[in-house]
Amino acid sequence: MGYPPQYGQPPRGETRRGLVVMVVMAVGVAIGAVVTVFMVFNPPSSPPSTAAPTRGGERSEHSEASVRQAVQPALDAYSSGLYGDFWDLWTTEAQGLIAREEYVRLFEICPPILPNSPLTIAGVTITGDIARVQATRLDDSTDFDFVFEGGTWRYEPSPEERLTYQAPVDQIAEQRRAMGFCGVVVPTSAPGAPTPTPSITPSVPTAPSAPAVPSNPAAPSNPTDPTTQPPGFL
């Protein structure tokens, strides 16, 4: 025989527990609403983007287009006779081989045979931080090395060129002159200075001298031939 159902108010303890549950639920709903509103009006910032990769995953600074863009000004500076500006584009270590003013003076006492002869990039080969650039001038082609340093590509002299700069500038110029690698030196004078007038001395008849014996100089027979110029940025 079962007990009859009990009616009336529940015990006081159960009432308190019910109230606590409802309060906890209300607090949870309120916290959720606050978090939702905060996320809507304050979305999380995206992580900083890295340099956009180019073809094959390489960095854009190491693409062929970037090498061409950085190297062409160096070629233009050299071919146009701005040797100081060209020296500024060398690697830091290479600039210790020869001082800037001495490098400029070298071309003053031994100018190139074909000045103002543009160099054009024909090909680029990139291996890590080293770029081999093939440049052409007239019918001549020469390879130059550039190194990625300080966020840009800088000229790196060849081992032969490094060996050359171990000698004094006057000695280098004398050696090149003997090989026929120097052009005509144009004398410079101070601004406003009068042009010197050569003195005229009356000629005195003298006895005829013996005919000169043709010499056999070591310099090339055709100094204007571009193939007789020293290779590289010498």
Q: Given this model, what pLDDT does residue 209 score?
A: 43
Q: Given this model, what pLDDT does residue 221 score?
A: 39
Given a cut of 50, the residues of the chain with pLDDT beneath it are 47-57, 189-191, 193-229, 231
Q: Given this model, what pLDDT does residue 218 score?
A: 39
Q: Given this model, what pLDDT does residue 78 score?
A: 95
* CB contact set of 51 (below 8 Å; sequence gap of 6+): 59, 60, 61
Closest CA to 232 of 160, 167, 130: 160
DSSP, residue by residue, the chain: -PPPPP-SPPPHHHHHHHHHHHHHHHHHHHHHHHHHHHHHHSPPPPPPP-PPP-GGG--GGGSHHHHHHHHHHHHHHHHTT-HHHHHTTB-TTGGGTS-HHHHHHHHHHS--SSTT---EEEEEEEETTEEEEEEEETTEEEEEEEEEETTEEEEE--HHHHHHTTS-HHHHHHHHHHTT---PPPP---TTPPPPPPP-------PPPPPPPPP--SS-S-TT-GGGSPSS--
What's the predicted TM-score (pTM) here? 0.59
Convert the pLDDT of each residue in 148-184 to its tens digit: 999 999 999 999 999 999 999 999 999 999 999 999 8
Answer yes or no: are the C-beta atoms of 97 and 162 closer than 8 Å: yes
Q: Given this model, what pLDDT does residue 39 score?
A: 66
CB atoms inside a 10 Å sphere around CB 91: 19
Please give the Cα distance from 80 to 96 (Å, whole number): 23
Q: Given this model, what pLDDT does residue 206 score?
A: 43
